[in-house]
Structure 1
Amino acid sequence: MGLRTKPTYRQRRFGAEVRRLREQAGLSSTDAAALLGLKQPHLSNVEAGKTSLTPDRVRLLTAACGASSTPFIEALNELGQQPGKGWWSDYRKILGEPHLDLAELEAGAVALSSYEPTFIPGLLQTENYVRAMYRGGYAEASPEEREAAIAFRMQRQSILLGEPPTRLQTVIHEAALHASLGDRDIMRGQLLRLIEASRLPHVTIQILPFEGAVAFGTGFMVIEPSEPKLSTALVSHIERDLYLEDEDSIAKYQGWFASLQGAALPPVDAAVSPESHAVKDSLGLIQRLLYPLL
C-alpha cells in the first residue's frame, strides 16, 4: 500500500496517538520500530498519518507502552483502520480539507457539545439560513462552492437521524437568535427548526440570555467518540479552526461547556405545552422571539 499524500484528520490523529504512546513510554522511534518489526522511516510515516499499523502491532505497541484499557485499544485500532472515505469524499474536489475533516470527525462521534455565540449551530441550521449567511458575506465562495457547501452542511445533519443517532448538546447565545439573516420568513423557519430539533430525545438546546454570565467569546465544539480519551476540541476562528487533542485542553473545554450550561436557561422541552413554559426558560425565550414573526 502506498503512502497517503493527504491524510485525513482522523488518520493524522492515529499517528499522533502512536507518537504520544511511544514518547510517554520513553521509546525512541528507532527502538519502537524495532519492537514492531518495522524500519524507523516506516514508523515515522505512521506517526505522520501517511500509513497505519495492523491491529496486532497496535496491541503490541500499547502493551509495551503500558496502555491496558481494552476500550482504548479497540478505539485506537478502529481509528487506525479508517479509510478516510465517506459521503464527504464526493466534495473533495470542491471544498477544502477542513470541511471534510469536520464531517469525518462528526461521523465518528457518539456525542457533541457545542457553544455558538453568534450563529445557529451548523447542525441545526435550515437551508435558507445557510443561504442567507452566504448572501450576507459571512462566507466567501464561488457559486459552485456555495452550492456545494450548502448541500454539504445539510448532509452533515444526517448524523442526528442515524441509527444510533449522535447526541448533541448545544448552548446558543441569545445574540444568535436576534441576528436577522435575511427576511422574517428565514428567521421564523430557523426558530421553528430549533423547536422541532428539540423534540429529538438526543438533542438538548439551551439559550444563554443577554443578562446571563459573560460568555466565552469564541464558538467551540467538543467531539467525543466511543473512547473519551480520543476526544477533540474544535475551536472556531475566522481564518482557520483549531483542533485540540491533549487531555488538559479537552478537560478545559468540557469544563467551560459545563459552566455555560449552568449559566444558560433550562433546556428546550417542546413536548411540554407552551402554556407550561415560563418566559425564562429556553423554549419560552425562543417563542417570545418567534411570535412577532408569525
Structure 2
Amino acid sequence: MAGRSALTARRARLGAELRKLRERAGMTTTQAAALLGTSSGQLSNIEVARFGVSAERVRIAAHTYSCTDQALIEALVAMTSDRKRGWWEEYREILPSTLLDLAEIEHHGTGLDAAHSIHIPGLLQTVDHAREIYRQAVPELPPPDIEHRVSYRIKRQEVLYRENPAPYRAVIHEAALRMAFGGPDIARRQLRHLLELSELPHATIRVIPFEATYYPGSGQSVYYVHGPVPALDTAQLDQSHGPVFIDAEAQLAQYRLLLERLDAAALNVEQSRELIHKVAQGL
C-alpha cells in the first residue's frame, strides 16, 4: 500500500471511486478491510485520499467488490501510476486548491465540453478579457491575485495546443458575445480570438442566438470533462465561491442530457462564425 503524498484531484477521485465500488457491493469498511487483508482505518484513509494505493491493490479491491467493468478497472489502475507534478503545482500556495483541481482534471480529460450563457469559456479568453473578469470579482481581488489568476487561466489553455489535444466543444449564448467586458476594443479582440480558435481542427464553437425559441437549463455555466470511461467524467459548475465538481452518476447523466439539448439549440459551426463576426463588426 502506498504511503502519504500530496493530495491531488486524481487521487481524491480514485479513492471516491473505490468507495463507490465497496458501497455497491454492500460492504462496510470493516467487512471489506477483512477481505482485503488490511485495517478499516487504512481502507478509510485510501477512500478519503489520505493514502495512495497501488495498481495491484486496486485490482484486488475490484475483484473483492465483484466489479466486472474491465474498462473502469483499467482506468482506475491507470490513475495509480501518474504521480508526476503538473504545472499547476507552482500555484499550490497562491491559488485556491479547487482551481488547481480543475487544471488537473482538465489535463487528464479525454474530451472537454463547455456551455456558457453570459461569459466566454475560460479556455477561450484572451489575457485582457480574463483580467477584466477578475477585476470584477466579488469580493474584490488585490492586483497581485488578479495577475496570478490571469496567468493560471492562460496556462490552462495549453490543453488546446498540446500534442494530441482532447476534442473541445463550446456552446455559447449570443448574450456572452455581446457582453463587452473592458470596452469595445477588448471585446472586439476577444471575438476575433474566438474566430481564430474556431479554426482549430479539434475545437468546435457554436452559438445559441437570441432568436432561438428555447434555452435548456437554468442558464448556469457548465464545464464537462470526459474521463477514460463515462463513470470517471466530471461536471464543473461555476459558483461565486469557486468551482464545484460533480461526479455522481445520476447527476452526470443529467448534465450530459443538458449539453445535448444545448447543442441542439445552437447554430451550426459556419452560422456561429458568421454571428460572431457580425457582433465583432458592430462593436
* Structures share fold, TM-score greater than 0.5: yes
Whether the 8 Å CA contact 2:113–2:225 is kept in 1: the answer is yes
Q: Say yes or no: does 1:49 pair with 2:49.
A: yes
State the match for 1:292 in structure 2: 282
State the match for 1:170 in structure 2: 170
Aligned-partner residue type, residue 3 of structure 1: R
The 2-side partners of 1:258 and 1:236 are apart by 19
State the match for 1:20 in structure 2: 20
CA deviation after TM superposition for structure 1 residue 183, in Å: 2.4
Where structure 2 has 5 or more consecutive residues not aligned to the other structure, the ranges are none
1:215-226 alignment, distance < 5 Å: 215-216=216-217, 217-226=219-228
SS at match of 1:14: helix
Q: Say yes or no: does 1:262 pair with 2:255.
A: no
Root-mean-square deviation (Å): 1.7
1:56-71 alignment, distance < 5 Å: 56-71=56-71
SS at match of 1:241: strand
User: Equivalent pairs: percent with the same residue?
Assistant: 37
Runs of 4 or more, structure 1, over 6 Å off, are none
Whether the 8 Å CA contact 2:135–2:146 is kept in 1: the answer is no
| Count of residue correspondences | 280
SS at match of 2:204: strand
Aligned-partner residue type, residue 13 of structure 1: R
**Distance change in 2, residues 1:49/1:81 (3 Å):** farther
CA deviation after TM superposition for structure 1 residue 214, in Å: 2.9
SS at match of 1:83: coil
SS at match of 2:277: helix
CA deviation after TM superposition for structure 1 residue 239, in Å: 2.0
The 2-side partners of 1:196 and 1:28 are apart by 53
For residues 163-196 of structure 1, give each alpha carbon's deviation from its aligned partner in whole angstroms, at most 9, with x where no partner exists: 2102111111111111111122211111111111
For residues 19-42 of structure 1, give each alpha carbon's deviation from its aligned partner in whole angstroms, at most 9, with x where no partner exists: 110111112212211222211110
CA deviation after TM superposition for structure 1 residue 17, in Å: 0.7
1:1-294 alignment, distance < 5 Å: 2-4=3-5, 7-83=7-83, 85-137=85-137, 140-212=140-212, 213-216=214-217, 217-267=219-269, 269=270, 281-293=271-283
State the match for 1:276 in structure 2: none
SS at match of 1:105: helix
The 2-side partners of 1:249 and 1:219 are apart by 15
CA deviation after TM superposition for structure 1 residue 262, in Å: 0.4
For residues 112-138 of structure 1, give each alpha carbon's deviation from its aligned partner in whole angstroms, at most 9, with x where no partner exists: 111111110000000011112233446
The 2-side partners of 1:39 and 1:223 are apart by 34
